[in-house]
Amino acid sequence: MSKKFDYDVLYIGAGHGTFDGATPLAKTGVPVGVIESGLVGGTCPNRGCNAKITLDEPVKMVREAERLGKVLQGNISIDWNKNVEHKQEIIDPLPQGLTKRLEDAGAEIIKGHAKFKDNHTVLVGDKEITAEKIVISTGLRPHRLDVAGTQLAHDSEEFMNLSTLPKNLTIIGSGYIGMEFATMANAAGAKVTVMLHSDKVLRKFYQPYVKLVVDDLKKRGVNFIENANVKSFEEVDDGYQVNYGDNQKLTTDWILDATGRVPNLDNLGLDKVGVKYDQTGVFVNEYLQTNVENIYASGDVISNDLPKVTPAAYFESKYLMQLFSGQTNKPIEMPVIPSVVFTSPRIAQAGISVEEAEEKGYTITDSDLANYWYYIVDKEPIAQSKQIHDKDGRLVGVTEISDQAEDAVNSLLPAIEFKMDQEQISRLVGLFPTIGYAAWHRA
């Protein structure tokens, strides 16, 4: 143990950017401290992935029941209140479980808001905590529109805690959260309007597939307003009014501001210690080290082009554990980070995008999966994929739209990450009949 400091490594934030690495690091006997101002586990378990996917599960089931209507008898619908209760039952134990894992490993958790005093000292209230190395892992928080009445809108966490689903819901933004939540609310019976900043939905995904999702939601009654230019929100007799465009108005019961997420760097004292950052996050080098030698960053708070998703935060915190415990002295080598939007159907992608493949002249193989074995079983009407191969026949990218796109892409990841050739791929014999096998069969 270093005698000069309270801890060898002090993490600020207890999300995936911290605990996946801090836990095994503490297990090796290294003195580790973790400061957390909210719930241990951070965004993903408490108000992100786990909470969202629990609410989405019945949506997936309703869609499947709709397709197998001839087989499954009776009307299936979502009881929103029960859905939220079920979600809460699932996520409530998570912070305690994660706290136990960290503490059992030997880490100490300090509750409160952290602020740098100097590059080795962090203040939590009046308490001074010192460490040899400090990791900034403070994640993101919802961006709020800078318009009059912005306080009348809500964020994704508030939506997921609604015990009664609003009859009429307006969502500002058509990124991940806008589209996933529009899908859930529509399936549970709300009248949903999505207001777009421009004319593009899910700009990071393959646009012809995005159009299929949007067209399907339109058929299901979701209203999309392009180039909305939201100007203000106000309270009116029968709810809330969104003022937009050229003196246009829309009355609604509830407004979800889903216009992105911004780094949690307020009141952290970064200027005091000279750590460089901007509105996109903290700047780091290839060792996840900031410009101040003993201060590192991990997870969503880093300024980079990676998708802001849990697996990236997980990988970074694991890397820092290896670096701090001497298991590596090499720069971080990020693997292929896949992404998926949990609409219904989903769009999932990994590796080279279709656009990049077109530019580089790679081979793009198109499959209409709606008529493909296994997708026929549950009658998926919207199911397509594009697999991308380089000139040596190696799989370098995949994009899929289907209700099981996330599992199809997951099963192809090893081929993309390890640049397998056709001979190696041909030796991978999957379980049959499964969605993964169906994906491999085309690889």
Ligand X SMILES: Cc1cc2nc3c(=O)[nH]c(=O)nc-3n(C[C@H](O)[C@H](O)[C@H](O)COP(=O)(O)OP(=O)(O)OC[C@H]3O[C@@H](n4cnc5c(N)ncnc54)[C@H](O)[C@@H]3O)c2cc1C
- Residues found near ligand NAD in the complex (CB under 6 A): 145, 172-178, 180, 197, 230, 258-261, 307-309, 339-342
189 is in an annotated binding site: no
* Burial (CB count within 10 angstroms: exposed 0-12, middle 13-18, buried 19+), residue 76: middle
Q: Quick count: other Cβ atoms within 10 Å of Cβ 427?
A: 7
Instruction: Decide if residue 183 touches ligand X (CB under 6 A).
Output: no
End-to-end CA distance of the chain: 51
- Three-state SS string across 184-239, please? HHHHCCCEEEEECCCCCCCCCCCHHHHHHHHHHHHHCCCEEECCCCEEEEEEECCE
Instruction: Residue 174: name its binding partner from ligand X, ligand NAD, none (Cβ under 5 to 8 Å by kind).
Output: ligand NAD
CB of 267 vs ligand X, minimal distance in Å: 7
Tokens of 33: 């401290």
CB of 195 vs ligand X, minimal distance in Å: 18
CB of 317 vs ligand NAD, minimal distance in Å: 16
177 is in an annotated binding site: yes
Instruction: Decide if residue 297 touches ligand X (CB under 6 A).
Output: no
Instruction: Residue 175: name its binding partner from ligand X, ligand NAD, none (Cβ under 5 to 8 Å by kind).
Output: ligand NAD
Instruction: Residue 404: name its binding partner from ligand X, ligand NAD, none (Cβ under 5 to 8 Å by kind).
Output: none
* Integer Cα distance of 406 and 416 in angstroms: 15
Instruction: Decide if residue 48 touches ligand X (CB under 6 A).
Output: yes
178 is in an annotated binding site: yes
Instruction: Decide if residue 56 touches ligand X (CB under 6 A).
Output: no
Instruction: Residue 313: name its binding partner from ligand NAD, ligand X, none (Cβ under 5 to 8 Å by kind).
Output: ligand X
* Integer Cα distance of 383 and 402 in angstroms: 4
Beta-carbon contacts of 4 under 8 Å, excluding residues fewer than 6 positions away, are 130, 132
Instruction: Decide if residue 35 touches ligand X (CB under 6 A).
Output: yes
The single residue listed with the structure tokens 């004319």 is 199
Instruction: Residue 259: name its binding partner from ligand NAD, ligand X, none (Cβ under 5 to 8 Å by kind).
Output: ligand NAD
Q: Which of residues 89-128 bind ligand X (CB under 6 A)?
A: 113-114
CB of 257 vs ligand NAD, minimal distance in Å: 9
Task: Give whichever of 28 and 37 is closer to ligand X, judged by the CB atom.
Answer: 37
Instruction: Decide if residue 54 touches ligand X (CB under 6 A).
Output: no
Can you tell me whether residue 143 is helix, strand or coil?
coil
Tokens of 273: 């210690």
Tokens of 278: 């901007």
* Integer Cα distance of 142 and 34 in angstroms: 23
Number of residues located near ligand X, criterion CB under 6 A: 36
Q: What's the half-sphere exposure (Cβ side, CA atoms, 13 Å) at 14?
A: 31
CB of 329 vs ligand NAD, minimal distance in Å: 30
Task: List b or e across 395-409, with b for residues whose CB sees 16 or more CB atoms inside 10 angstroms.
Answer: bbbbbbbbbbbbbbb
Amino acid at 215: D
- Write the DSSP string, 313-373: HHHHHHHHHHHHTTS--SPP------EEE-SSSEEEEEES-HHHHHHHT-EEEEEEGGGST
Instruction: Decide if residue 338 touches ligand X (CB under 6 A).
Output: no
* Integer Cα distance of 123 and 193 in angstroms: 44
Whether the Cβ atoms of residue 313 and residue 339 lie closer than 8 Å to each other: no
Instruction: Residue 233: name its binding partner from ligand NAD, ligand X, none (Cβ under 5 to 8 Å by kind).
Output: none
106 is in an annotated binding site: no
Instruction: Decide if residue 43 touches ligand X (CB under 6 A).
Output: yes
Instruction: Decide if residue 144 touches ligand X (CB under 6 A).
Output: no
Stretch that binds ligand X, among 16-24, 85-93, 214-222, 236-244 (CB under 6 A): 16-24
Task: Give whichever of 48 and 436 is closer to ligand X, judged by the CB atom.
Answer: 48
The single residue listed with the structure tokens 């003022």 is 243
CB of 351 vs ligand X, minimal distance in Å: 17
Q: Which residue among 54, 99, 121, 137 contacts ligand X (CB under 6 A)?
A: 137
* Integer Cα distance of 180 and 53 in angstroms: 10
Q: Which of residues 247-276 bind ligand X (CB under 6 A)?
A: 264, 268
Instruction: Residue 145: name its binding partner from ligand X, ligand NAD, none (Cβ under 5 to 8 Å by kind).
Output: ligand NAD
DSSP code at position 72: S
Q: Which residue among 6, 16, 33, 257 contacts ligand X (CB under 6 A)?
A: 16
Instruction: Decide if residue 37 touches ligand X (CB under 6 A).
Output: yes
Binding-site residues for FAD, please?
Answer: 300
Binding-site residues for NAD(+), please?
Answer: 173-180, 260
Binding-site residues, please?
Answer: 173-180, 260, 300
Which residues contact ligand X by CB under 6 A?
A: 12-18, 35-38, 42-44, 48-49, 52, 113-114, 137-140, 156, 177, 264, 268, 299-301, 308-311, 313, 342
